[in-house]
Structure 1
Amino acid sequence: MLENDARDRVIVALDCDRERALELAHELSGHAAWLKVGMTLYYAEGPQIVKTFKDLGFKVFLDLKFHDIPHQVRGAARSASLAGADLLSVHGLGSGAMLAACREGAEEAREDRAKLVAITVLTSMNQDALSEIGVESPVAEEAARLAKLAQANGIDGIVCSPMEAHDMRELLGPDALIVTPGVRPVGAALGDQSRVATPSQAIERGASHIVVGRPITGADDPVAAFDAIVAELVENVA
């Protein structure tokens, strides 16, 4: 894999406060292409944080996991797109009507609409966790069901564990976005993730993008940690 391609595959998750997020963004400018803004940062700072990162030259994955009635999700997707987000997440569990409304909201906002990915099964969840909420089908089967529902309603791709990425690529085809959190470089702590893989394993299994947070943002040298992941992809992925 070429270096520029590898850099565009890694989304750095900034799950921290504004001061630390801006510090990391300035450090990673010129190295990383993507930043992920999740609930912690967005609910504290609002749309301005997306605009700030866009002004620094980053693409932004706004990971708010929309899940509400279709009308609300349509408005949320429109507003998030107007803020400048390049990629948005929506829960696959919210029904076909809700997923279609999300697509409509993104299209209404701007001509070059934000891409959309549906959450299948959170990477923190294992089979026991699914059973707790009344889902008895195997994790992989449930993820596939939600992925097909999303694709049928105009969603560009999915978020799934790297453990499901290979099957999802076969299911959804070559053009689907497959974003995989639960990615940890060799030797990194697992944190609260249950189903994980290394960066190169995730890409080889079919991921279009990988999300990496604490192994980069919690490192003594975040740029070196990011560059090490890029080097792993360049060396190991064709």
Structure 2
Amino acid sequence: MEKSPVIIALDLPSQQEAENFLDRFQGAEKPFIKIGYQLFYRVGPTWVREKKEQGYSIFLDLKLHDIPNTVQKGVSSLLELGIDFLTIHAAGGSEMIRAAREVIDQAQSNLQLLAVTQLTSTDQTMLNNELGIPGTIAESVVNYALLAEKAGAHGVICSAQEAKSIKKSTSGSFLAVTPGIRLAGTDVQDQKRVMTPALAIENGADYLVVGRPITQAADPVAVYQGILEQI
């Protein structure tokens, strides 16, 4: 089954709220869902496995970042859940990324490993003055993307603002998965580098990660379907 290009970020505080939200999609095609820290720490791996068995495509957004051996063992454990996407920090370096990819290949898994470049909450001042990384955000993101691709990641997490540069710098199959998606005329909230769905796809994004614009909507199914129509 082909995956939807719109991934709904289930940034919800409890299993019950997540279930209630997904119940809104009864009768429709099951959406591609992202499970991050907040929900995963509540529901644990059992619920994730159950959702996968129910037919959901699942992006587990845990942003692994540790020594290569520890990350490799973590990925090995997560492979048992049958998830589709998993995040790892590009800042962990090539050896860490290679160790993660190695265990995926050994298991002959279809899991796609996505390297986080720079968070969409990072702006130029933070990059240079707080993180101590010289140059522009775009340069840093492309550098991380090239490192990640060479080390075996299947794609990166990046702002849609950098997707076009990444697509030009990497192979055609290398994925650009973009959070920080906001509908035209809405509050950007804590995001710094945002873009509308249609512009993000036009800029080269393969998948859009959309959270609050859908989950906090009065009619989330209509908003979700509206985004699909836009792109």
- TM superposition score category, shorter chain reference: over 0.9
Q: Which runs of 5+ in 1 are unaligned?
A: 234-238
Match of 1:221 among 203, 211, 219: 219
- 1:20 maps to what in 2? 17
- 1:49 maps to what in 2? 47
TM-score, with structure 2 as normaliser: 0.94
**Number of residues paired by the alignment?**
228
- 2:62 maps to what in 1? 64
Residues 115, 148 of structure 2: 8 Å contact kept: yes
- 2:119 maps to what in 1? 122
- The yes-or-no answer on 1:200 pairing with 2:195 is no
Aligned counterparts of 2:68 and 2:156: Cα–Cα separation in 1: 19
Cα deviation code 1:124-168 (max 9, x no counterpart): 000111121111221001111111110011110100000001111
| Equivalent residues in 2 for 1:3-152, closer than 5 Å | 8-16=4-12, 17-29=14-26, 30-108=28-106, 110-131=107-128, 132-152=130-150
Aligned counterparts of 1:211 and 1:59: Cα–Cα separation in 2: 13
CA-CA distance at 1:78 after TM superposition: 1.3
CA-CA distance at 1:32 after TM superposition: 4.6
Residues 10, 32 of structure 1: 8 Å contact kept: no
TM-score, with structure 1 as normaliser: 0.91
Cα deviation code 1:179-238 (max 9, x no counterpart): 0001111122211110111111111111110000000000011111101111111xxxxx
CA-CA distance at 1:26 after TM superposition: 2.4
Please tell me the residue identity of whatever aligns with 1:57. Answer: G
Aligned counterparts of 2:140 and 2:219: Cα–Cα separation in 1: 38
Residues 25, 53 of structure 1: 8 Å contact kept: no
SS of alignment partner, residue 97 of structure 1: helix
SS of alignment partner, residue 164 of structure 1: helix
Cα deviation code 1:81-121 (max 9, x no counterpart): 2111111010000011000011122234x423311110001
- 1:212 maps to what in 2? 210
Q: Which runs of 5+ in 2 are unaligned?
A: none
Please tell me the residue identity of whatever aligns with 1:14. Answer: L
- 1:166 maps to what in 2? 164
The two structures, once aligned, show a CA RMSD in angstroms of: 1.5
Aligned counterparts of 2:182 and 2:222: Cα–Cα separation in 1: 15
